[in-house]
Structures are given as C-alpha cells and as structure tokens.
C-alpha cells in the first residue's frame, strides 16, 4: 500500500516541499494502520476503496493521500473533516496536524461511534506515538446544518458534491477558513476542488485528474 501511494503521489511533486509533504503522509500511513479501520483485514492494505457502512466508503489510500497532499496539513493546524466514514482519514489528519486539533463530523451516528472505538484501539497500540491522536474529535453532525462553524486552517471533505452544492461549499469556505486556509472537496464524479483563502479573498482551482466519490449526505 505504501509503495502504491508513493508511486501515485510522486508525479504530482513539483519541488522539495512537495516531496517532504509526501514523506510525512507516508509516515502517517505507516503509523495510522488501516487494518484498524476496515472490516476485512485481509484487504486492509489494498490500494482500493472499501465499504464503511451506511453506504459510505473508506477511500482508496492513493486518493486519501492526494487529498492530504493538496491540503498541505502542517503541525499545529486546526482542521475539520466532513464525512468521518471509517475514521481513518481523520486519524491521518490528526497525526499530521498534532498538536493541532482535528474535528471530524459524520451525519451517521453509527459510523461516528465506530470511529471513536477504532481510534481508541489504534492509540492503545501505538504507545507513546498515540499522543498524536489525542486531539482528534469525532462528532455526529450535518455540515450544512451546523449552528456554529468555527474557523480552521484546513477543511477536507471526503464525499462528493454536486455542482448544485458547490456554492454552499464556497460560502462555508469564506466563513470558516482562516487566512491562508485551504479547503479540499471532490465531486461525485470529476476533479477535486481546491479553495484557498488569502487576504480574505477566496480563490478556486481544480485538479487535472478526476475521481469517483460517494455523495455527500445532507
């Protein structure tokens, strides 16, 4: 799995900073063992998407790596994940952001509860390195109906949006991203959208490559 993710990400690297970012993502994937987050342990290290329950998926590791690379999570960042599913991506984000805080929200309470247990089991297995997951928080919530949306440095949406939802995501980015913040969001079928906030202005770009994601539930 690690070799597959590395082979996928390296062609996207433009400089030494990107190479360093990839190395940190791979280090996180070595420590945040995917076997804790999948039902079929025999397929835990396949570079493929797997069911997570409630019609959601644990994304293909190379795709997860691409989102993390685009987000550029740094130590000390406060981040939000929209769509917990298995909890794996949230723990990867927490590992990269520590001592920053990662809040992962999930519309399905059953998935949120499973993610809490999985994260706890992983932490117990990591010994002293488990502290890097201390600031990962799982909540059951609907992103579009959250009454209070705090500012954060990074937002990763792990389910696909439709073109009709794009303006809602842009509005959320304007209100929730801190200056120099980044939001990464895929479509159900298409590229990933990258929103960056600089000097209170939002810019938008897209990846050249395309992906397939389950729909973001409302």
Give φ, ψ of 45 to 5 degrees.
Answer: -105, 15
Dihedral sign for Cα 14, 15, 21, 26, please.
positive
- Interatomic CA distance for residues 142 and 20, integer angstroms: 34
- Interatomic CA distance for residues 43 and 65, integer angstroms: 18
- Interatomic CA distance for residues 132 and 28, integer angstroms: 10
- Interatomic CA distance for residues 42 and 35, integer angstroms: 8
CA atoms within 13 A of residue 84's CA, in its CB half-sphere:
31
CA atoms within 13 A of residue 22's CA, in its CB half-sphere:
21
Residues annotated catalytic, as ranges: 59
CB neighbours (10 Å) of residue 179?
Answer: 11
The answer to whether 202 and 196 have CB atoms below 8 angstroms apart is yes
Beta bridge partners of 168: none
């Amino acid at each position: 799995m690690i070799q597959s993710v590395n082979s996928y990400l390296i062609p996207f690297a433009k400089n030494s900073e990107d190479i360093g970012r990839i190395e940190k993502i791979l280090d996180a994937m070595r420590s945040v063992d995917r076997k804790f987050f999948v039902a079929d342990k025999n397929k835990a290290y396949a570079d493929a998407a797997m069911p997570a329950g409630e019609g959601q998926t644990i994304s293909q590791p190379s795709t997860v790596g691409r989102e993390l690379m685009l987000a550029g999570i740094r130590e000390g960042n406060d981040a939000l994940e929209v769509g917990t599913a298995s909890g794996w991506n949230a723990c990867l984000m927490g590992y990269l952001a520590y001592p920053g805080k990662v809040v992962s929200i999930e519309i399905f309470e059953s998935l949120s509860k499973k993610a809490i247990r999985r994260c706890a089991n992983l932490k117990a297995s990591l010994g002293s390195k488990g502290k890097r997951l201390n600031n990962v928080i799982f909540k059951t919530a609907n992103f579009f109906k959250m009454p209070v949306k705090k500012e954060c440095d990074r937002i990763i949406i792990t389910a696909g949006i439709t073109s009709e939802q794009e303006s809602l995501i842009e509005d959320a980015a304007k209100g929730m991203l801190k200056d120099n913040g980044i939001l990464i969001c895929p479509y159900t079928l298409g590229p990933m959208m990258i929103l960056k906030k600089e000097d209170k202005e939002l810019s938008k770009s897209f990846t050249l490559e395309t992906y397939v994601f389950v729909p973001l539930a409302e």
